[in-house]
Structures are given as structure tokens and as C-alpha cells.
Structure 1
Amino acid sequence: MSASLRPVKIFRPAAVTALAAGLLAGTVAPGAAAADSRTTVPNAAAGQDRPELQKAIQAFVDAGFAGVQVRVNDERGEWVGSAGVRRLGSPAKPPTNGLFRLGSSTKPFTATLVLQLVAEGRIKLDAPVADYLPQDRLDRRITARMLLQHTSGVYNYTGELDPDGTFVPGLIAPGRDLVEKRLRSYRQEDLVRFAFSKPARFEPGTGWSYSNTNYTLAQLLIEKVTGRSYAEEMRRRILRPLGLKHTVPPSTRTGIPGPHARGYYRYEDAGQWKVVDVTRQNPTYLGAAGGMISTSEDLHRFFSALNSGKLLPAKLLTEMRRPHPKSGALGYGLGVSVQDLGPNCGTVLHHNGNALAGYASIMYSTPDGKKTLTGSITMGDAAIEPSQAYVKPHEKLLEEVFCGGQGAS
């Protein structure tokens, strides 16, 4: 294990709780299903017969999720599998080559873009962002490092937790508001303006708090420095060089352009529980913080390339993997989390995510990029709390992939 990683040593139960938070943190909201598939994705290979992995992903369905698709790349080769249903009311399984919404698994892509600009000397990691991005009310003490590491103190436009743990909605509130606003377009400047209208959580650099606004500012920073859109920079610097043909940067397009499983949102409205197909969503609400679409294969290629040193100089990769002490069990660095799963398991890097509603993504890698776990989970109509129902099957899947089924002890 590289000494530069300085992983947070946790696994159970604290580790899994933190990792579940990493999966489901960062957003609040929406989408319905695209009828036409404009992008053709090659069928994924069936891979080896690994019943322990199939059993592990089936556990998500048994816990109440609609479907799951997973890809494992390790010393035994590649395995792909799915469980559950592609859509409610149909017996077809989710496509193992399907596209899905990444949510906050977008953040490592964004952080990599910023750090590439740092490597080129176009951005200084610890210089005021205001030097590059004049914005009303942007505190001059905030640096690019603080944005990527969530230490800026800037209010989270997707919602915050009060000191007593009460959730305070952002621009989109859970429930009916989410359903009604999920197709709206948002300008990134307007998201920032909303966040700046709220009190900062703390003085820049003095605390840690997950805020999607940090990555919205990072998007604006990338666009200001390069003179190109975030989407074009993503294609130029990462997607095309790595051959990620099925990864889609955020745009105003509400559908998923290829084979996919549908995601659903269960909510209470006027005393009645309702279930809505939220596959269609407008990615501009999350943008560089969580608006990308991809496949498990593309996520594997990206995260393996990143961790094997193909996208960043070694010095900046080390910076990326250095957890901020105040991020606690999440072990958050610059757009990635670093965690030691225990003596039988080793260290993993990850950033999971959830879209506005309906979809969750998983993305893990060993430090050398040789073993990865990527995939997607879709919500259905079961009466579950996803962040709680996710914990046990998630723990078991990590054990099977990274611990050989032995657990952390």
C-alpha cells in the first residue's frame, strides 16, 4: 500500500455507513424513460461463472431495489452481471451494457479536469479562485483545492443539514417538488447565486462539508480558464483519449441515449404514496457535480486509467488521494475517497453517487487501478429507505470483490 494514500481505516459498521453516505450524498431529486436509443452499446461479455458475485448483487434486489448491474475487473479477468428488472412490470433484467446516471460519480471526472489544468500551470491549486473566476460574493480565500475537497464552506444548493440533523431543501425539495421540477433547465451561475444567497457553513478552509456548489464553481472555473464548455473539455481531455464512447457530459438533454434500466421515485403526496418513473431528468441541475451518464465499462476504463497514473502526474495523483482530516470516515481527498477496508481487503479509492432520483452509481478501484468495481443500482416501488437498505448488500459486495468473501477480519 502506498504511504501517500494515508487511508482512513474503517470498515464495519462505520465504514459501510460512510460509504453508503458517499453513494447517496450530494443530491436531492428527478427523471421518466427515453423511448429511443440513439447510441448503440456493444453487448457485454458474459464473463466467468462467479456465483458469489451474482448472489451479492441479487442481495440489492432482495433488499428492495428494482435492479442492479455490476462489472468487476480483477486478476481473474472481467465479470459482468445484473439482477432484478429493467423496468417495473417486465421480467427482463437490466442490461449489463446499459447507460445510467452517475450522480456524484461525476466528481472525479471534474476533479481530474481541474488537476490537469493545474499540471499545465493554468490554475494554481492554492490560489484564490476569484483570481480566475470573478463572481459576486465569492470569498477570496476560497481556492481550487477547497472546491475539490469540500472545505470552502459554500452552501450546498441541493440542500443542507441543520446542526440538529434536519434536512433543509435546496432549489429542489424532495417529493412533489422534485417530480415537477426534474425536467427544468438551470444555468450554473443561477445555482451559484442561490448558494451565495445563503450563509456560508464556515470560514473557508476551517471545516469540511459536502457541497455540490463546490463542483458547480469548478465547472465555471474550467470554462473560464479554457474558454470552452465543460462538455467539450471533458471530451477533449478524458473521453476521447480513453475511448469512452458511451459517457455523456451534462447537457439539457433529458433522456438516456442508449439501452438502460428505468429509475423510479417513491414519495408521499397529500397523505398518499406515489411511484413515478424518473428516468428522464435534466442534467443541468447537477452539471459537473453529478450530471454525467455512463456505463460500467466506461467507468472501469476511467477509474483504472486515473489510478494507474495515465491522467495525472504522480504528484497531483498523490494530492488527489490525500484525505482531509475533517472529512472523517469518508476519507475525502480531491474528488475521491480513500479507505482501508481491513487486513484481508486493502485500500480502495471510490466515489459513488446518486442522481436526482431513481439511480445510484458505484465506482471503486485499488490504488494501482488493476481491480475495479463499477455499476448502477435503480430504485423501484418498494417501501424502503434507500440509504438504509443499501448498507448490508453493499458491504457484502465489497467483501466479495476486495476481500475474497472473507470480510475485514
Structure 2
Amino acid sequence: MTSIAYCTNVHPAEDLPGIIAQLDRYAVPVREELGVDTLALGLWLAEPVARGLAEDVTARRGLAAELRARGLTVSTLNAFPYGGFHQDVVKHSVYLPRWTDPRRLSYTMACATVLADLLPDSASYGSISTLPLAWREPWTKTDDVRAQAAFDVLARYLRAEADRNGRPIKLAVEPEPGCVLDTVADAVGWLAGRVDHDHIGICLDTCHLAVSFADPVEAVKEIHRTGLSVVKVQASAALEVAEPGTDEGKRAIAAFVEPRYLHQVRENTPTGVLAADDLPEALTDLPASHPWRVHFHVPLHAEPAAPLTSTTDVLLAAAEAVRAASDVMPHVEVETYTWTVLPGLSTDLAAGIAAELRWAIDHIGGAP
């Protein structure tokens, strides 16, 4: 049965004592709220923590013991944010360092070393999600060459780790609007035939997929047609507003403007999809005459107030397509990192995460 994890990048700690304290404050209460003996996590380790653990096998074993003692398991890491993910302003800095920067490769290799020693006995593989190369500008043909070289080095490292540990660690590249690999089609076009398909595939973030207005079933088919695989699904939902040009629509969507994260917007017109890189820009520059989808991860179980809706229909269609295309369902991680910036939030965080996981288990299938 597929384990459905929740991603700990919703928590701000960037040192090991802080991470363990937040597991006690949030993850253990989530497990208890769900009434289960074990809870799967998609663990986020900022670069200094990942590097320190990779250099210290005793520390890795200690973290594994701390997780077991709390009834927590880890089969996947989120290595998209390098650090500083809860600064007052994150925006474009989340896409740094790029895959042309040696620091990104070193960080990802460190994460692989750590994950190999955290995998539970039940895990057939481990996964690490990462950014889609970089923000789209600047990016050159030379950058393509450098990024491919970094992936080649990483693939050799992952093969060696698999030989050492008996189970593979796989990289999951996560397309995101506005990036070099903006859509699933972009990611497939860049990765297919260029990387080691046994160790590098796709992280299908269903919020990002929805924002692109791609057909989820066709997107999954496109991945598999090329010999790539969905290594990981990030179960997430975007905001949608059918009539963004009305006074009611504008007011509702404007309530989600906030300074920390980037909220890319796409407008689906009969002649093509129009783009804005952030919500304030969209409110000023897009015609708002056709439906919008907004890169703002909203809780899966809580439908936004009208006239807003969420794209959980895209999530469910994508998950079903992945299940149909794969012998084994890949890792599923609920990734709602925006709890702290949601307007009018009054829900206790642990209770909210537990409610999301219940929704995911009921609608996608699996266990926490």
C-alpha cells in the first residue's frame, strides 16, 4: 500500500535540534490525530543540516533512531529549497543555487547519502525532489551543458549508492511555472534521452500541473512514452477563479497576495495561456477575461470560499493516471508549505495537516 507523506518544508527549522523539536511539536501530534503507529514524512533538510549529516554516519544513525522512536518514517526528501525557505521574502531565491552551480550538486548528493540511511525496511527505493534546473532567465545553451554534466555526475553517484545499499535513490525533477522546465512537456523534452532514466525522473507536482492548464492524463502518458517515470507525486492544489475580472473575483484573489513566496498566475484564453510571474503583476497586467489558476498551494481538504475553487480535480485525475501507468504507485507527498501565509488561517497546524492527510488517504488511497 502506498504511503502518503506530508512534507516538512512547512516547518522553518534549519538545524538538527530544531528539526527534532518540530517533529515533536507537529509530526507526532499528526500521527496521534490520525491514530496510526507510523507516519510517513517528506523530510526537508536545509543544506547545512544535510551536509553535516552526510559527513557524520553517527549523526545519521542518531536521526534514524529519533525518527523510529517517534513512529516516523522517511522514504523521500524535498531538496528543492536549499535554505532560507521561511525568510520574510523568499520569492526567486528559492531557485538558487541553480543546477549549473556545484553547490546544488553537492547538496543533492548529501541528501542522497542521508536518505540511504533513513529508508525504512519497507521502502523499495528513496526519492529526492529538486528544482527544474533554474528560474527561466538567464539560461543559455552553455547552461544546458553544465546542468547535464551535473546530472551525469549525480547519476553515477546514485548508482554507486544503490550498489552500496541495495536500494536505489532516485532524483525527481519538479517542473514549475516560470522555470526553465516550466511544464511537464518541457521537463520531458529536456530530460528524455539526456539523463539516466533509471535514477532520474519526474516529480509531478499537481498544483504546478494544474496552473499550466495541461491535461493531467496526457501529461502522465507523455512522461511514460519517453521511458521516463514519475518518481514522486506532490499532492497539491492550486487556486482557481473562473471570473477573475469581476469585482468579487478580484477581491477574493487579492486576499492571497503576500510577500514571502512567488505565486505565478496563468490565464487560459482561447488563443493560448497568458502568464504573470506573481499575483500582484497578474492583478495589474492580465486581461482577467478568462479563468485563472494561481500557484498558491491550498489545503486539500478545505475548499476556498466562493468565487474561488481549488484544483483537486486535477490532482485526482493525475493520481489515477499515474496509478494506471505504473506497476507500483510512486511516493506521494502532500506539500502545502503555505499554511503560515494563508489569509485568515485559524486552524491548528497539526490538526490541519492531519485533515489534509485524511483527505488524501480517502481520495487517493494509501496509508499515512
Instruction: Please report the TM-score for the alignment, with normalisation by the length of structure 2.
Output: 0.31
Higher relative contact order (CA closer than 8 Å, sequence separation 6+): 1
Instruction: Please report the TM-score for the alignment, with normalisation by the length of structure 1.
Output: 0.28
Of Structure 1 and Structure 2, the greater helix share is in 2
